Amino acid sequence: MGTKRMGPFEVEAWQFVGVPPDGTNADELIAWMTAGHTFARILVMADDSIAISIETPKGTKVVFLDDWIIRNDKGEFYPCKPDIVETELNRRRVDVASLD
């Protein structure tokens, strides 16, 4: 987990990683979200892969391996695809580099 700057906001973000059946960080992610009073649970998909279901203000969302889970400035959790996180982080690095 870490703090990331996404646009004008600083958010907390964890990436859902691991290789089933050896293990993932799903249990840690569930504990993080439920401590914030968000309903989240592990899903076992038809192909035996693991995903996480999150209840958000915009409905139920599913997080797949390598996706990020972001807690916004209101304390709400949302999934985010890795390419979007990487694009935003790269954009922020360019913004910071241009200040030098």
Residue 46 located in a structural domain: yes
Q: Is 72 within the bounds of a domain?
A: yes
In a domain, 16, yes or no: yes
pLDDT, tens digit (0-9, with 9 covering 90-100), for 22-63 = 678 888 899 989 887 889 998 988 988 889 999 999 999 999
Total domain count, the chain = 1
**Residue range(s) defining the domain that contains residue 46:** 2-95
Q: What is the pTM of this model?
A: 0.76
Tell me which residue of 22, 53, 55, 16 sits closest to 36, measured CA to CA: 55
**CA–CA dist 33, 36 (Å, integer):** 5
Does 100 fall in a domain? no
Mean pLDDT of 6-20: 75
H helices then E strands: how many in the chain? Answer: 2, 9
71 occurs within a structural domain: yes
